[in-house]
Structure 1
């Protein structure tokens, strides 16, 4: 699948891959900053944003989308940065097509299976009554029972369009709901990626724990680990300056 993307800047190519329920636009300020030194390609993964819908959401298939898009753009090899689900896509790409990945950055995710903690979000989004005249306040209220955190509801509601034709999600919610067991996991792979790898975890996040380090190093022998201060799971949004301070030297090969 050829993915929709937002492109900015000139220089060595850098791919940005968002997490579950995200979109290319989530990278906004980070992309703008990095565009001073790189050709930055922020992609909408399948079933997200303006990219096409497809039932399969296994990581090799999503990695193949990124590979196809890079090939069409003549942008490989590239540095590849992925957050959360996008980090798993980035890891799958490096393991299955290492020649396309000049270096790899994984933001707050490990190549392991996670508990089904986010399935309630999908069900709550599917249950929002998309009737003409629905307001953002009403949609927020409809999500509140399953998603008590206001900031997470605001993030999810970025995907709800209001306008002509009535409200609509810019997500393949049905496809995502069916694929959640696959999204939560990570495929068993025999391959190894030998390029440089930076794993960034949030100081307050439990997504990448010391118990995961051996698994990461088994697949990525050159993995380095660093912590973004004062952040939970959304490391690049919660402390963009701290995130960039760790990211930019790695991208520059320092």
Structure 2
């Protein structure tokens, strides 16, 4: 279902298209066994030239990132008018509209979540994305996707950067200059190594356990929010959980596959991508954004990241950069969207 919405506040067009728009004149959506997504663009008057994938976190969906993606597309259109950016807001498996799609078989882990992205690219016949942005669990999906691209797991074309910002370096003993191109991978407040779930202040595990204890259908969103608050959760977190409901007859049910999401969370905790950060693929910049007030970062992890970022590189490998988002907790796009935009937009515009 394709439609263009006029954003009165910002004065630009937002294109939202769910997976595989139907033929003109039809009002239904055609589904295939791959991910659901939305597109956000500043303008639809000309074809897009660059693509960014936006990956949400646990129990979220692509729609959580609509507002930030609109602002990012707007900013890029002003700073880089020769490029037309398309933001693809993906619903990861077991989440959002992808939870309704059959064929996304287990195991529900980071590897298969990343494979889903590759399958989406191939099914739609797209070029490989120029930028991938992942928040929290989505950050590790992004890291696995980059790792698999570098290993040519998705085919040789996925391993070859097509666009990026120029960076000159010497080529071995030939002492000649070559123009190298960097794609960008943005990992937003996501620990790259294995995570002890008890160190995520226990809140995530407590939320998952609570949701497991609740019935699969609830009377209303208001009932759920009140129930979550009675169990000791904050009003903001309870409201956010309540936003992940969908209508089911006279009741409400989850907009995610809870058991599948739990499996993904376990995989998120177990997986480590330090080897990827130690040897980033040539042509790729991995940009880590750490929220200043996030309680998920151990001092040794921070030191290890900053040490890796300070090493630079000679062009034979990619690079790692670390950015601190001030005045923000884990929910970076809600706590300080303006600051996040100021960090990301200039670097993405350089592509």
Q: TM-score, normalised by structure 2?
A: 0.65
Cα pair distance change 1:131/1:176, threshold 3 Å: closer
Structure 2 match to 1:114: 195
How far 1:176 moved relative to its partner?
A: 2.2
Determine if contact 2:111/2:141 at 8 Å carries over to the other structure: yes
Flag structure 2 segments of 5+ consecutive residues without an equivalent: 1-32, 42-47, 78-84, 151-158, 162-182, 310-316
Structure 2 match to 1:71: 122
For residue 3 of structure 1, the aligned residue among 19, 27, 35 is 35
How far 1:240 moved relative to its partner?
A: 0.7
Cα pair distance change 1:235/1:25, threshold 3 Å: same
Which SS does the other structure have where 2:106 is aligned?
Answer: coil
How far 1:222 moved relative to its partner?
A: 1.2
Which SS does the other structure have where 1:241 is aligned?
Answer: helix
Instruction: Please tell me whether residue 212 in structure 1 is matched to residue 304 in structure 2.
Output: no
Cα pair distance change 1:206/1:189, threshold 3 Å: closer
How far 1:165 moved relative to its partner?
A: 4.7
Structure 2 match to 1:12: 50
Determine if contact 1:121/1:146 at 8 Å carries over to the other structure: no
Instruction: Please tell me whether residue 62 in structure 1 is matched to residue 113 in structure 2.
Output: yes
Structure 2 match to 1:198: 287
1:171-190 matches, within 5 Å, as: 171-187=256-272
Structure 1 match to 2:348: 251
Structure 1 match to 2:20: none
Instruction: Please tell me whether residue 95 in structure 1 is matched to residue 143 in structure 2.
Output: no
Runs of 4+ aligned residues of structure 1 deviating over 6 Å after TM superposition are none
How far 1:45 moved relative to its partner?
A: 0.4
Determine if contact 2:294/2:329 at 8 Å carries over to the other structure: yes
Determine if contact 2:59/2:261 at 8 Å carries over to the other structure: no
CA deviation vs aligned residue, 1:24-49 (integer Å, no higher than 9, x gap): 00001111122334111010000000
Which SS does the other structure have where 1:2 is aligned?
Answer: coil
CA deviation vs aligned residue, 1:194-218 (integer Å, no higher than 9, x gap): 3112111111013344522536849
Which SS does the other structure have where 2:131 is aligned?
Answer: strand
Determine if contact 1:17/1:44 at 8 Å carries over to the other structure: yes
For residue 322 of structure 2, the aligned residue among 213, 221, 225 is 225
Q: Distance in 2 between matches of 1:208 and 1:75?
A: 35
For residue 242 of structure 2, the aligned residue among 151, 154, 157 is 157
Q: Distance in 1 between matches of 2:34 and 2:328?
A: 33
Q: Distance in 2 between matches of 1:89 and 1:16?
A: 11
How far 1:76 moved relative to its partner?
A: 0.8
**Higher relative contact order (CA closer than 8 Å, sequence separation 6+):** 1
Determine if contact 2:59/2:95 at 8 Å carries over to the other structure: yes
Q: Distance in 2 between matches of 1:24 and 1:199?
A: 20
Q: Distance in 2 between matches of 1:24 and 1:171?
A: 12
RMSD: 2.5
The higher radius of gyration belongs to 2
Structure 1 match to 2:65: 27
How many matched pairs?
A: 252
Q: Which has the higher strand share?
A: 2
Determine if contact 2:193/2:273 at 8 Å carries over to the other structure: no
Structure 1 match to 2:95: 48
Flag structure 1 segments of 5+ consecutive residues without an equivalent: none
